[in-house]
Amino acid sequence: MEKLTPLFTLRDVGVALNGKQILSALDLEIMKNRATFVMGRSGAGKTTLLRVFNRLNDCFPGCTTTGEVQLHRDHGVVRPYSGEIPLPELRRLVGMVFQHPNVLPMSIRNNIVMPLATVHGVNRADAMDAASQALKEAQLWDEVRDRLDTDARTLSGGQQQRLCLARTLAMKPSVLLLDEPTSSLDHKAAKGIEELLETLKGRYTLVVVSHSLDFALRLADDIIVLREGQTYRHLLPQAIKGESGTILAELEAMY
């Protein structure tokens, strides 16, 4: 039987924004190299939970995070909110892909090379190699290899989202946080992103906010259902398979 290893542990975690409680009393584990889906109604705190893992909530004035967050690394446990890991290193390890593609107003190539060179100090030659590898991993290389110096904003929506994913993969993360990565795309592009994530499962720890019930039931190892900022259900593989009809009905009622 496969032994599961936690990557993140949350203990009594809460997030408040200007005194309004968004998340409260969260106790959960995110297991390494598995796909965890976070689901629930709009306003349940799904995106806020994603931002707990890379401290992105810190960017909002008046936002406070309480409780304990542990990141399990090979050399031991670190606590990101206690300053035991530098914030740039945390955000490199815990990459995020947003709901709407946020390409930079520059060439396809420089969308990946520039952050590597200027933020992480990678020399340009190595950054170019990393960009090529990341574009291949994101299954975009064959479509853009002959126009790498073209403005990234000329790409289709699905291509832009894969470029954003490639930019994150080039940082060599351990975790990919994906906030409804298909919701702004047409059906064909969304299907392409879903198929791409299936190829990444197992090589990365995936934490995905999604409204696609079929996709969640197909890919998820764990499903966390939030309701009013708290864990309403946490479903493991056996429950997902054994109760798929009941789960689907419950989740459909939420949307």
> Residue 226 belongs to a domain with what CATH number?
3.40.50.300
Instruction: Examine residue 124 and state whether it is found in any structural domain, yes or no.
Output: no
Q: Burial letters for 2-17: b for 16+ Cβ neighbours within 10 Å, e otherwise?
A: eeeeebbbbeebbbbe
What is the predicted pLDDT for the residue at 1? 46
**Tens place of pLDDT per residue across the chain (255 aa):** 457 789 999 999 999 999 999 999 999 999 999 999 999 888 899 999 999 999 999 999 999 999 999 999 988 999 999 999 999 999 999 999 998 899 999 999 999 999 998 877 889 899 999 999 999 999 999 999 999 999 999 999 999 999 999 999 999 999 999 999 988 888 888 888 999 999 999 899 999 998 887 888 888 999 999 998 888 888 765 666 666 566 666 666 665
pLDDT at residue 239, rounded to an integer: 67
149: in domain = no
Provide the residue range defining the domain that includes 203.
6-102+175-254
Contact 180, 99 (CB under 8 A): yes
Would 139 be classed as within a structural domain?
no
| Residue 109, in any domain of the structure | no
Which residue, among 14, 29, 39, 69, has the nearest Cα to 227 in the 3D structure? 39
Q: What is the pLDDT of residue 130?
A: 94
Q: How far apart are CA 140 and CA 176, in angstroms?
A: 18
Domain count, the chain: 1
Residue 15 lies in a domain: yes
Q: pTM of this prediction? A: 0.91
